[in-house]
Amino acid sequence: MDREHISKDKTILLRQKYIGPSCKLFFKSDPIKIVRASGQYMFSETGERYLDCINNVAHVGHCHPKVVEAGNKQAALLNTNSRFLHDNLVLYAERLAALFPDPLKVLFMVNSGSEANDLALRLAQAHTKQKDVIVLDHAYHGHVMSLIDISPYKFNHLGPDAKPDWVHVASVPDRYRGKYRDTEHSLDELSTLYAQDVEDQIQNIRSSGKGISCFISESLQSCGGQIITPPGYLREVYKHVRNSGGLCIADEVQVGFGRVGSHWWAFQLAGEDVVPDIVTIGKPMGNGHPVAAVVTTYEIAKSFAGLGVEYFNTYGGNPVSCAIANAVIDVIETENLRENATKVGNYLLSRFTILMTKYQLIGDVRGVGMFIGIELVKDRSTKEPATAEAKHAITRAKQEKVLLSVDGPNENVIKFKPPMVFSLEDADHLVNILDRIFGEIDDSRQVEKLTEKELIKRINGASMS
Amino acid sequence: MDREHISKDKTILLRQKYIGPSCKLFFKSDPIKIVRASGQYMFSETGERYLDCINNVAHVGHCHPKVVEAGNKQAALLNTNSRFLHDNLVLYAERLAALFPDPLKVLFMVNSGSEANDLALRLAQAHTKQKDVIVLDHAYHGHVMSLIDISPYKFNHLGPDAKPDWVHVASVPDRYRGKYRDTEHSLDELSTLYAQDVEDQIQNIRSSGKGISCFISESLQSCGGQIITPPGYLREVYKHVRNSGGLCIADEVQVGFGRVGSHWWAFQLAGEDVVPDIVTIGKPMGNGHPVAAVVTTYEIAKSFAGLGVEYFNTYGGNPVSCAIANAVIDVIETENLRENATKVGNYLLSRFTILMTKYQLIGDVRGVGMFIGIELVKDRSTKEPATAEAKHAITRAKQEKVLLSVDGPNENVIKFKPPMVFSLEDADHLVNILDRIFGEIDDSRQVEKLTEKELIKRINGASMS
């Protein structure tokens, strides 16, 4: 349907009545109704066009015709489970394996990043015969129970007892706001210091007589605030983890499939010799279709099979999911989207960095490819998070038909991870809009000394204009 | 692709090389390659037509054109997450809610039955603030870690310590082979006795000072061997569970959406006054597309929201999944598939029952609608499971181009849960084939007294002819 069936008010009413209230809307006091989308643009029921700067699932562009066609053709022909032989599954597996370094060659296909990370944990625990897991602070790995358990981003909000005793939290290697900072240390030192933090956790676990199943981290932390991992970090961490007998899991659900531009996978930013034992992939994999996967080594897959329990996933690896996933790789390659990510990403980073010279509000600009964070602060020396300002900025951007959102533990990081077809023109438009909005905020703060309450009032006034 | 891309041998080779060995093929020594499917038929790469008697996912028939069209149209228009308003989600929620009794009106949409059952557990634990769960023996509720924990079908194979101490296993209400049997008790007595088994678990939990979060069961146990729950059972169990402060979860992932014919949901077989607190649905919901859901009460959804943690599911409730799920309900209604399930199911039950008079091999025939089990035994008095014979029967059926499989803890129950378009002609064909196969087996056994080894040899000989 290219139009509404019911009025927006009715949609909101039915949603309140029938959908679990834990499922949140963007801009919940004035949510957006979207009826169609194409490329990096989404269109409301009134025909307004929004520039999508945040949807890392619609990776090759919303409703890419080649991806849609591949899925549609296969859906009309066959869509069944992987207990039957089908070429789509094995040809996709072969193609995907070629995008990973040895020995990452064995695939398990599932329906979501959550299913992938859950299975990754099972693989690690089966292979090592250990349970304990080391995670990074603020990490988010998925919504099923096993992953809430290892996601400080979630369990930090569930009370002091929410962290299980087999989960161990290491500091996130955040050079700007973390335990160690780039104002005091070189990037190399940061890598070593933060890796030592993981090693300290390992020693804690060992001293209590337990072993380590795995270390899991997003290769670039997303929900935690668009953190750019110091280049040497994973190499050192993986060394520590392996010395302790643990496995290394790279969660590439949000950042994989070329988002970083220079490589297919963000862990590859650490160097060719840095290879995880297990990689999970998802969101961009099906451009919106529910498909995800675990990629691992033959040895680990064999340990898992050694449990003697079949792994059956009803839809995992069905011919439609594989046709769609295959078309996504086609488009990334034929439309040179990794090259585009590098070009547009670098351009944006340079323009955002120039904005930093204009606005004290911007505490940090960081990113790689189409993965960028702009961290807002009230004061550059204290780094007090500008949470209200960040919220205001995205609300104002929405009025300008630019979709952004905030993330990070202080909700003060504006995140940018758009469809990979985002263009230089889109980048200019985005920066110009943010320039105006940051100007409004900085003006309103610098003319007078305002209390936070007054600022919010002022901001709300501005957003009415 | 309506044909092979690579030879079957190559498909097998690539599968061995690239797909996790825990992912099993049907008939692994001679697997089937399927390239297209329509209705209740699947077609191999050489054009052979198989009658599908087991795929409860392709609910309204493989590749139903109306379902395919609904998905394809929406995929070309918009496929994004539920943080934006969209009519497909709320209209589907409204329509689905109308198929459930009060107060089951609040929906959470997810991607798989596993995600649904995992969320159901989270809801129950959030609402009751208790952790302990009562499950039925041989139950299977999904492949993620939290569900392996509550699935004896899985954890029974993982060693003696695999059952967590917060999981409590009650006897499955199997009137044929269970703890209490219909040879000694009326159906009413069986309901009461098996419900008392759950009550005993409740008392165990309470006596150790703990509370109960929930009782979860498939309304008809599937993997456990196509068990038909005694009609009064759920009413009594739900009463016990609620008296203890626990919630009642009906897992309808395999048996929902009208498979039982007379009702939309199998729990409704227990009577109009028997209403679970949480229902999970999946497999048939999207006819092969990955979509599933949790349906619950507003009170429980509110308790979950009270945790203060958002529930976000990347693909859950996206416009494509909802369009497909909506079309599935359309087809069930317009093609009167529930009526067909009753008609064909009853016909099959009567014909299978007649087969019982011919073959001692058939120990039990049970079913409702398009959910039927034929339990094979070596001896009707001892009920010794005829596991090898069951395996042989499905292998022979495969040679006759009829797809069946076995289930149950003894792998001796031939299961029947086909696409709901299965016709009377298909039913006749199926029964005639099984008649012939059972005849071969019974003949080979009754002429001489054979050891199991000799029998298998004989059987293998027959299957070559």
Per-residue pLDDT of chain A (465 residues; tens, 9 = 90+): 456 899 999 999 999 999 999 999 999 999 999 999 999 999 999 999 999 999 999 999 999 999 999 999 999 999 999 999 999 999 999 999 999 999 999 999 999 999 999 999 999 999 999 999 999 999 999 999 999 999 999 998 888 889 999 999 999 999 999 999 999 999 999 999 999 999 999 999 999 999 999 999 999 999 999 999 999 999 999 999 999 999 999 999 999 999 999 999 999 999 999 999 999 999 999 999 999 999 999 999 999 999 998 999 999 999 999 999 999 999 999 999 999 999 999 999 999 999 999 999 999 999 999 999 999 999 999 999 999 999 999 999 999 999 999 999 999 999 999 999 999 999 999 999 999 999 999 876 554 455 556 555 544 443 333
CB contact under 8 A, A312 and B24: yes
For residue A229, give the nearest of A271, A257, A201, A264 by alpha carbon. A271
Q: Is the pLDDT of residue B465 over 50?
A: no
Please give the span between the terminal C-alpha atoms of chain B, in angstroms, as a whole number.
34
Closest CB to B90 among A15, A55, A317: A15
Q: Which of B315, B398, B403 to mutate to test the interface with A (most CBs of A within 10 A)?
A: B315
B454-462, Cβ contacts within 8 angstroms, sequence gap of 24 or more:
B455/B388, B455/B389, B456/B388, B456/B392, B459/B388, B459/B389, B459/B392, B460/B392, B462/B396
* Environment class of B326 (CB within 10 Å of its CB; exposed 0-12, middle 13-18, buried 19+): middle
CA distance B28 to chain A (A): 9
ipTM above 0.90, yes or no: yes
What pLDDT was estimated at residue A451? 58
* Gap between the Cα atoms of A323 and A289, Å rounded: 11
Residue B425 sits at φ, ψ, to 5 deg, of -65, -45
Q: Is the pLDDT of residue B244 over 50?
A: yes
Residue B191 half-sphere exposure toward CB, CA atoms < 13 A: 16
Point out which residues pair with B116 in neighbouring strands.
none
3-state secondary structure B243-277: HCCCEEEEECCCCCCCCCCCCCCHHHHHCCCCCCC
* Environment class of B46 (CB within 10 Å of its CB; exposed 0-12, middle 13-18, buried 19+): exposed
B386-394, Cβ contacts within 8 angstroms, sequence gap of 24 or more:
B386/B361, B386/B412, B387/B411, B387/B412, B388/B452, B388/B455, B388/B456, B388/B459, B389/B361, B389/B441, B389/B455, B389/B459, B390/B414, B392/B437, B392/B441, B392/B456, B392/B459, B392/B460, B392/B463, B393/B434, B393/B437, B393/B438, B393/B441
CB contact under 8 A, A309 and B157: yes
Nearest CA in chain A to B41: A78
Cα torsion B267, B272, B276, B280 to 10°: value is: 40
Closest CB to A87 among B4, B114, B310: B4
CA distance B181 to chain A (A): 30
Helix (H, G, I), strand (E, B) or coil at A437: helix
CB contact under 8 A, B42 and A84: yes
* Gap between the Cα atoms of A286 and A292, Å rounded: 8
**A304 to chain B: which residues are within 8 Å by CB?**
20, 22
pLDDT over 90, % of chain B: 92
Distance of CA A454 to the CA centre of its chain: 34
Distance of CA A465 to the CA centre of its chain: 33
Q: Which of A297, A311, A314 to mutate to test the interface with B (most CBs of B within 10 A)?
A: A314
User: What is the DSSP secondary structure assignment for residue A221, as one 8-state letter?
Assistant: B
Fold annotation for A8-62+337-464: Aspartate Aminotransferase, domain 1 (3.90.1150)
**B305 to chain A: which residues are within 8 Å by CB?**
20-22
Please give the span between the terminal C-alpha atoms of chain A, in angstroms, as a whole number.
34
Class of domain A65-334: alpha beta
* Gap between the Cα atoms of B318 and B250, Å rounded: 24
Strand ranges (E), B180-238: 212-218
The A362-368 sheet, strands edge to edge: A362-368, A371-376, A413-416, A405-407
Size of interface A-B (CB pairs under 8 A): 359
**B21 to chain A: which residues are within 8 Å by CB?**
301-302, 305
Q: Is the alpha carbon torsion for A173, A174, A175, A181 positive or negative?
A: negative
- Same CATH fold, B65-334 and B8-62+336-464? no
| Angle ∠(A22,A24,A30) on CA atoms, nearest 5 | 140
For residue B375, give the nearest of B344, B422, B407 by alpha carbon. B407
What pLDDT was estimated at residue A461? 46
Helix (H, G, I), strand (E, B) or coil at B462: helix
Provide the 10 A C-beta neighbour count for residue B298: 15
Alpha helical stretches, state H, A313-446? 319-334, 337-358, 387-399, 424-446
* Gap between the Cα atoms of B155 and B165, Å rounded: 13
Which CATH number among 1.10.3300.10, 3.40.718.10, 1.10.540.10, 3.90.1150.10 corresponds to the domain B8-62+336-464? Answer: 3.90.1150.10
**A287 to chain B: which residues are within 8 Å by CB?**
79
Q: Is the alpha carbon torsion for B81, B83, B87, B90 positive or negative?
A: positive
**A296 to chain B: which residues are within 8 Å by CB?**
20
Task: Indicate the pairing of strand A132-136 with strand A212-218.
Answer: parallel
CB contact under 8 A, A145 and B143: no
Residue B437 half-sphere exposure toward CB, CA atoms < 13 A: 27
Q: Which amino acid is at B406?
A: V
* Gap between the Cα atoms of B444 and B438, Å rounded: 10
Per-residue burial over A377-410, b if 16 or more Cβ lie within 10 Å, else e, is bbeeeebebbbbbbbbbbbbbbebbbbbbbbbbb
Both tokens of B86, joined, read 């969209």
CA distance A182 to chain B (A): 33
Please give the average per-residue pLDDT across B307-324, as a whole number. 95
Both tokens of B2, joined, read 């309506």
Q: What value does the mean pLDDT of chain B take?
A: 94
* Gap between the Cα atoms of A75 and A79, Å rounded: 6
Q: Is the pLDDT of residue B250 over 70?
A: yes
For residue B220, give the nearest of B180, B186, B185, B268 by alpha carbon. B268
CB contact under 8 A, A93 and B308: no
What pLDDT was estimated at residue B248? 98
What pLDDT was estimated at residue A465? 31
* Gap between the Cα atoms of B117 and B395, Å rounded: 33
Nearest CA in chain B to A109: B19
Both tokens of A362, joined, read 């911007």
Both tokens of A117, joined, read 């990370």
**B32 to chain A: which residues are within 8 Å by CB?**
84-85
CB contact under 8 A, A6 and B87: yes
What pLDDT was estimated at residue B200? 98
Please, what is the angle between helix B113-128 and helix B298-305, to 10°? 80
Nearest CA in chain A to B320: A289
**A5 to chain B: which residues are within 8 Å by CB?**
87, 91
Q: Which amino acid is at A164?
A: P
* Gap between the Cα atoms of B46 and A330, Å rounded: 29
CB B175 within 8 A of CB B182: yes
Please give the average per-residue pLDDT across B320-349, as a whole number. 98
* Gap between the Cα atoms of A107 and A300, Å rounded: 11
CA distance A380 to chain B (A): 31
CA distances from A3 to A42, A81, B450 (A): 13, 34, 70
Q: Is the alpha carbon torsion for B379, B382, B384, B390 positive or negative?
A: positive
Helix (H, G, I), strand (E, B) or coil at A3: coil
Alpha helical stretches, state H, B78-186? 87-97, 113-128, 145-148, 152-155
What pLDDT was estimated at residue B454? 55
What pLDDT was estimated at residue A365? 97
Q: Kind and range of the H or E element at A366?
A: strand A362-368
Provide the 10 A C-beta neighbour count for residue A178: 18
CB contact under 8 A, A157 and B308: yes
CB A259 within 8 A of CB A417: yes
Nearest CA in chain B to A253: B314
Residue B228 sits at φ, ψ, to 5 deg, of -95, 115
Closest CB to A85 among B11, B79, B144: B11
Please give the average per-residue pLDDT across B1-15, as a whole number. 87
Residue matched to tokens 């930093």: A356
Confidence of residue B443 (pLDDT cuts 50, 70, 90): confident
Residue extents of the structural domains in chain B: 8-62+336-464, 65-334
**A310 to chain B: which residues are within 8 Å by CB?**
22-24
What pLDDT was estimated at residue A1? 47
Q: pLDDT for B273-298, tens place per residue?
A: 999 999 999 999 999 999 999 999 99
CB contact under 8 A, B114 and A115: yes
CB A291 within 8 A of CB A89: no
CB A170 within 8 A of CB A201: yes
CA distance A350 to chain B (A): 30
CB A388 within 8 A of CB A456: yes
Closest CB to B14 among A72, A90, A291: A90
Provide the 10 A C-beta neighbour count for residue A21: 16
CB contact under 8 A, B33 and A143: no
CA distances from A292 to A50, A57, A283, A315, A337 (A): 27, 11, 7, 11, 20
Which residues are CB-neighbours of A59 under 8 A, at least 6 positions away?
A257, A259, A283, A284, A285, A287, A328, A332, A337, A419, A420
**A157 to chain B: which residues are within 8 Å by CB?**
307-309
CB contact under 8 A, B68 and A76: yes
Nearest CA in chain A to B89: A15
CA distance A449 to chain B (A): 34
Q: Which amino acid is at A390?
A: A
What pLDDT was estimated at residue A462? 39
